[in-house]
Amino acid sequence: MNSSPPLPTVLAAVAHPDDIEFCFAGTLAHLKEVGCSVHMWNLANGCCGDAVRGREETANIRWKESRASAAVLGAYAHKPVFDDLAVFYDRRSLS
């Protein structure tokens, strides 16, 4: 019997929306192609990423974009847990 062990789950976790797409898209596409389960996670919601729209509307737009990007890759999108400018390496953020 020739059974290979399952390929790993890959998590791309970054601070800001679009970081995954600009920095890791090719690598994640390759890993997906060889059979890895791919997960994408922007820690911050992108709420400060627009000078015209409000914070909530902008965060909603960024979340839709993240989900669409994950769908193209066949990956899982995980919701952000911080507002922009609120990602810190501290006890509260790590809990």
**Domain membership flag for residue 48:** yes
For residue 92, the model assigns a pLDDT of: 84
CB 77 within 8 A of CB 40: yes
Instruction: State the residue for tokens 């059979």.
Output: 35
**Domain membership flag for residue 69:** yes
**Domain membership flag for residue 78:** yes
Position 68 pLDDT exceeds 90 = yes
- Parent domain of 18: 9-93
**Domain membership flag for residue 1:** no
Which pLDDT band holds residue 11 (cuts at 50, 70, 90)?
Answer: very high
Rounded Cα distance between 23 and 30, Å, is: 13
**Domain membership flag for residue 17:** yes
**Domain membership flag for residue 3:** no
Model pTM greater than 0.95?
A: no
Tally of domains in the chain = 1
**Domain membership flag for residue 58:** yes
Residues 6+ away with beta carbon under 8 Å from 11: 39, 40, 41
**Domain membership flag for residue 13:** yes
